[in-house]
Amino acid sequence: MVKFLQVDTAANGNMIAPLKDLIFIDAFSTTQVRFVYSNAYQDLNQIKLDHAADANADEEVGSMVDALRKIVIDVAKGRWSTPVVNITSLLPKPITNIIID
């Protein structure tokens, strides 16, 4: 079963991002975190999460990237009877939008 992260965005309401085929999470910029996925065609797809500016470095404890990596691990370890987990209140910065590239 696929698990999903659910976030409430300021601009576009409630959105979800899948964990299936997730390769890595990184800081695309100081206002975007990028989830990079593989697919059956050996291409990479990405979902970008817009948020308020984060002055913390990519790997710093307390950064958006650090928080999201920890959340993904916790969700993956969680019960399969709960495939959608709302993470809005767990993030250090609010998510304003989700962009699919």
Number of domains in the chain: 1
CB 54 within 8 A of CB 30: yes
pTM: 0.85
What pLDDT, on the 0 to 100 scale, is given for residue 11?
77
For residue range 40-51, list pLDDT tens digits in order: 677 788 999 998
Contacting residues for 96 by C-beta, under 8 A, at least 6 apart: 9, 10, 11, 50, 51, 52
Residue spans of the chain under pLDDT 70: 40, 56-61
Q: Which domain holds residue 18?
A: 4-100
Percent of the chain exceeding pLDDT 90 equals 40
